[in-house]
Chains A and B, each alone.
Chain A
Amino acid sequence: MSNTISSPENQNESRLNVLIIDDNEQITKMISSFLDMSNHECTVVNDGKEGVELIKTHQFDSIVLDLAMPECDGYEILDTLQNEDPSQLSKIIILTASNIPIETIRKFKDLGISSCLQKPVDIDQLLSKITDITN
């Protein structure tokens, strides 16, 4: 928590465009206001299907994805992307409250997803993952 990567001055040169897909509105609101205050662009969807549509139609620098969601969950989104636009997979940061088994994390890595964060996540850590991905 002592991490201070998030100071706005650092981020001014590179304003990032981040998509957040999570069915929990409190979490999306918190992350988006944090990214907003860190001078990044942030788009929020609380529904998986909408998320997929947005990924198809818009260009994002990074995508923060929750796994457990009603109707269209994170795994489904990953499946769709793998079939239709695998290049998007490397932009994804998984953010989940469930414990992900090591085998699944390995599978994610094989897909090109390097970050799998556990809720509750340190927001500075989340931001540093987001900037890592875009670099």
Chain B
Amino acid sequence: MIKIKQALFLIFGITSFIIFYIGFLNYITTQDESVGLVILISSAIVSVGTLFATFYISNNITKPIELLAKRMNEFSKNNFITKNSLDDKGILELQTLNKNFEDMAKKVGGALEKEKLLNLNLQEMDTRKTEFMSMISHELKTPIMPIMGYLQMLKKEDMMGKLNEKQLDALNEITISTQKLQKLIQDVLVAEKIDLGKLSVEKEILDAKILVENSYKAFYPICENKDVKLIIILKTSEMVFSDVDRISQVFSNLISNALSFVPEKNGVIEIGTIDNSENVTFFVRDNGIGIPEDMQKNIFKKFYQVDTSSKRKKEGSGLGLSICEGIVRHLGGKMWVESKINQGTTFFFDLPKAKIPLENFKSFKNSKNSKK
């Protein structure tokens, strides 16, 4: 790295010194003293002139460049340039450069300003949307409460009297629909929380084996009812540092999903863990219809459905998987899918192993105490 000023002074300094030195040599060696003196003086004048010219040129080149560099720096920091501090005199090329930079900066600055405004608007709209969604879900939860309450009461013979079979049938149908509605509202709320990064998690040391077994216990009756085999495969059982309720929520979503895609006969769902050095990897595998490869990358997006045709058999909001992915992400893990058409689908998710024992045991104790 060398400055233009230094380079100029070096070159012209040496040049003027050489000119002066030749003049001086000439003066010493020449026979005609007056001619030698004239040459000496003129060489001195030339070398001094050269130095002055160097000074002038260097100032004219480097000053505007320095100023331009300063303005560019300013612009890159604030997206804004202060008013022109270069005068109109000086080197033409540099003036043009400065002018061009100014035009460009104005355009870029304007575009950035617009984008900033647009972003702010988007952010505000997004916050509004989220607030609206959370308000709506909150308002929807409230009327469900009396509906569910009266449904429960109607089923109690000693309270409301005995219902006939048709009435009971109707009651059960209402209950199922209401429960679905309730689940949907909860899903929307959780999805919004994930979007806002406000999902609350309470981590503690958990046994991977017990996590899998809990989900097995919760789903065994449902699977048996539907004639689907539910199998546990544990390749490793380590401790994870995570949130038990959120993990069971993930398992529950994945197993429910699997249940709606397994074949009617010989449906099999396997849940368990596989070995992994850094994390504990959990999985839920089904032998269902599978997910086409080109759709696999989208399935964790909100409201995405593989089959969007109006004739689709499976119902659902398209929130389940995006919630799972969001929860796993909030727990410090990642989620992915492997699937082959007509062979089945496996959802995997990693959760960090419980590492530093001392620290974790502390929080283990804390979380235990707080649950009492």
Contact = CB atoms under 8 A, between A and B. Distances in A.
Interface in B127-161: 138, 141-150, 152-153, 156, 158-160
Interface residues of A, number: 27
Contact of A26 (B141, B143, B193): B143
Interface residues of B, number: 23
A114 B58 CA distance: 81
B189 A30 contact: no
Given A101-B200, A102-B200, A102-B202, A122 B148 contact: yes
B360 interface: no
A37 interface: yes
A7 interface: yes
B182 interface: yes
Contacts of B148: 120, 122-123
Contacts, number: 61
A31 interface: yes
B158 A122 contact: no
Main secondary structure of the interface of B (DSSP, over half): helix
Given A98-B138, A109-B370, A123 B149 contact: yes
A120 B144 contact: yes
B179 to A, nearest CB: 9
B141 A120 contact: yes
Nearest to A99: B189
Interface in A17-44: 24, 26-27, 29-31, 33-34, 37-38
B327 to A, nearest CB: 15
Contacts of A124: 152
Contacts of B370: 106, 109
Interface of A: 1, 6-8, 24, 26-27, 29-31, 33-34, 37-38, 97-99, 101-102, 106, 109, 119-124
Given A30-B146, A99-B189, A120-B145, 11 more contacts: A1-B152, A24-B142, A27-B145, A34-B153, A38-B159, A97-B141, A101-B200, A106-B370, A122-B148, A123-B149, A123-B152
17 contacts: A1-B152, A8-B158, A24-B145, A26-B146, A27-B149, A30-B145, A30-B149, A34-B149, A34-B153, A37-B160, A99-B189, A119-B142, A119-B145, A120-B141, A120-B149, A123-B152, A124-B152
Interface of B: 138, 141-150, 152-153, 156, 158-160, 182, 189, 193, 200, 202, 370
